[in-house]
Structure 1
Amino acid sequence: MTNDLLADDFRALGAQDVEVFPGPAPRVGPKPASRGARTGLVWVGSPSTYESVRTEVYPALDLLTDRAMSLAVVGAAVNRTAGRVREMVWSPEAENSELEAALVGLAPQVDSEWSRRKAFYKVFEYLAHDVIPVVPRLPAVQTLLGEDLDLIASVVDGHSPADWARAIDVAIRRVVDEAWIGARDRVFERWSAPRLAATVLEA
């Protein structure tokens, strides 16, 4: 199961030996020898989840300390640019290019019974590309990042544009240093493919 809430649902239905495992985490590939400075924000998703970024993040852009910060939206229905926002249809190339260039990755999520049971896999994708995630304080996120949550992510406490702006500002100031990479690697090891295989074999 992806998180404790979903596991509890299955236990209530009589399931036995339910394990929580939101992975497997992706592999962290080698980094290019040289890369330009990271700038801007990124959201990776799909048209079905686009509404969350439009309603929660777009209004926050005008409240950021850095009013020039741009946002790349990978997974929109059409390609278009409006002000500081570039929307594009998802493709593997677009996703990889924007993740390699971004400083901060956004994971807005409308709070609902469904969203509380999601795995938030896009947070893994941000972390794998050394992108600081900005995440809501939901059980699924806590399960995913555990005790390293506040070290490797910036947490949004609320749903208002001001709440998002504050959390994004914190993420922009955060540094991807040895402590951050170490925490990311601990999370990835906890939810690695070998750990998943061992969990299945032991069940």
Structure 2
Amino acid sequence: MKVLFVVPYPEGQAASQRYRVEQWLPLLQEQDIKYRLAPFWSQSAWNVLYKPQHTWRKITGLLTGFMNRMLLLRHLPVYDFVFVHREATPLGPPWFEWVAAKVFRKRIIFDFDDAIWLPNTTAENRWAAKLKWHHKTAQICRWSYKVSCGNGYLRNYALKYNAAAVLLPSVLDTEHRYNEHKEQHTQEVVMGWIGSHSTLPYLQLVEPVLQRLERKYSFRLLVIADKAPQLQLRSLEFKAWQRETEVQDLLQLNIGLMPLPDTEWAKGKCAFKALQYMALGIPAVVSGVGANIEAVANGCTGYPCATEQEWYERLEALLLKPELRTSMGAEGQVWVRKHYSLQAHSQTFLSLFSS
């Protein structure tokens, strides 16, 4: 069997691709399944894509990506499956997916972990937003052999267009990577958040809560991201995200945060930050929105919160009680291994390539 992975990003650069595609590749090797990874963006284009200026490098990277997609079509006959993560091209209609499905009659596996049929404009992608062609998500679902969805909300959307929509949560390798445990009896308490520039603004939702806590308690707020946050907090510390140090950076945290707005876009999120925290024995305090409600067992592995006062009370309790953090952290590790680990869902992933 041969599988072509049509992916947006250079290997090792984006969380969605690393955890929904790249971490599964060793499993395919074990099954003697051959594969090829075909990114749209080159590494040089990716390096400047979300930075100001560099207009011509971005345009050149975009045109090169489209050209590479055209050239990729001639290789389609040798593959049994074409696995499309999110989209084959970032702008315009789904011409590549249509050609693969309708002309070459390839079995497409369409995978997504966000509500990508909804507009989600940020400062970094405003210039391209009008060309995003969001309604192509439904079209690709219809043409696909199977659809792999990161949570129930996404699967319910896909089922409207394809009965072969499968729930495959975003998962973690709890045996080889997320296999350490946070010691909670520490001299200082560190609350923290991990993510990218696209979700960084969500931290502002709990900024007032953190300001209130700062006036009463001593703690450190560590933000691990690809861009520094703009928050008025004296406890704030920024750490640039690096793949090599990601787990060790997370192990500095005693409490993990995942605020989200109550929007349709946020309901498509797969609670991944919360899973990262819990897998390492770190209680997760999250907004009670979408997949967060299922992923975080209330009062057991963390707390989903609905109001600002709930956020304050839950964080205050965890700040003051290391034994509570310890028990929740231990429960969280067991929970993730059972429900959200690579090992628990390996057969679900392999079933995507079966008849």
- Tell me the TM-score range normalised by the shorter chain: 0.7 to 0.9
AA in 1 matched with 2:312: A
Tell me what 2:250 maps to.
99
> Paired residue for 2:190?
40
C-alpha distance in 2, partners of 1:22/1:93?
24
AA at the equivalent of 2:305: V
3-state secondary structure, aligned to 2:251: helix
Percent pairwise identity: 18
* Residue 17 (str. 1) matches residue 17 (str. 2): no
- Aligned AA (1:72): L
Does residue 1:165 correspond to 2:312, yes or no?
yes
The superposition leaves residues 132-187 of structure 1 with CA deviations (integer Å, 9 ceiling, x where unpaired) of: 11111123113334xx34310122112x3x4422231233332323x752453133
SS in 2 for 1:194: coil
Q: Structure 2: which amino acid aligns with 1:9?
A: Y
Aligned twin of 2:259 = 108
Select which of 133, 136, 145 maps to 2:284. Answer: 133
Contact kept? 1:116, 1:138, Cα under 8 Å = yes
59 and 183 in structure 1: CA distance in 2 versus 1, 3 angstrom threshold? closer
Structure with more helix by fraction: 1
CA contact (8 A) 1:61 1:69 kept: no
Pairwise CA distance, 1:30: 4.2
SS of residue in 2 equivalent to 1:67: coil
1:154 to 303, 307, 332: 303
C-alpha change, 1:89 and 1:202, in structure 2 (3 Å) is closer
Q: Is the 8 A contact 1:42 1:102 kept in 2?
A: yes
Gapped runs of 5+ residues in structure 1?
Answer: none
1:75-117 deviation line (CA, Å, top 9, x unaligned): 1524999621112322236643442222101001122211101
Is 1:117 matched with 2:268?
Answer: yes
What letter is aligned with 1:137? Answer: G
In the alignment of these two chains, the number of paired residues is 195
Q: Is the 8 Å Cα contact of residues 293 and 304 (structure 2) preserved in structure 1?
A: no
AA aligned opposite 2:279: A
| Separation in structure 2 between the aligned mates of residue 180 and residue 79 of structure 1, nearest angstrom | 27
Tell me, yes or no, if the aligned pair for 2:190 and 2:220 is still in contact at 8 Å. Answer: yes
Deviation by residue 1:23-57 (Cα, 9 ceiling, x = unmatched): 32231424599x9546221111112211111x222
Runs of 4+ aligned residues of structure 1 deviating over 3 Å after TM superposition are 30-33, 35-38, 78-82, 92-98, 200-203
Match of 2:220 among 70, 81, 85: 70
Letter of the structure 2 residue corresponding to residue 121 of structure 1 = F
Question: Is the aligned partner of 1:185 residue 2:346?
Answer: no
Shift of 1:6: 0.9
Whether contact under 8 Å (1:154, 1:168) holds in the other structure is: no
| Alignment match, 2:208 | 59
For residues 79 and 139 of structure 1, what CA distance do their matches in structure 2 show? 24
Choose which of 72, 83, 86 in structure 1 pairs with 2:237. 86
Cα offset, 1:4, TM superposition: 1.4
Shift of 1:22: 1.4
Query: Residue 151 and residue 79 in structure 1: after superposition, are their counterparts in 2 closer, same or farther (change >3 A)?
Result: closer
Note closer, same or farther for the CA distance 1:170–1:153 as it changes in structure 2 (3 Å cut). same
1:143 and 1:198 map into 2 onto residues whose CA distance is 21
1:7 to 155, 161, 167: 155
Give the letter aligned to residue 258 of structure 2.
Answer: A
DSSP-derived class of the 2:166 partner: coil
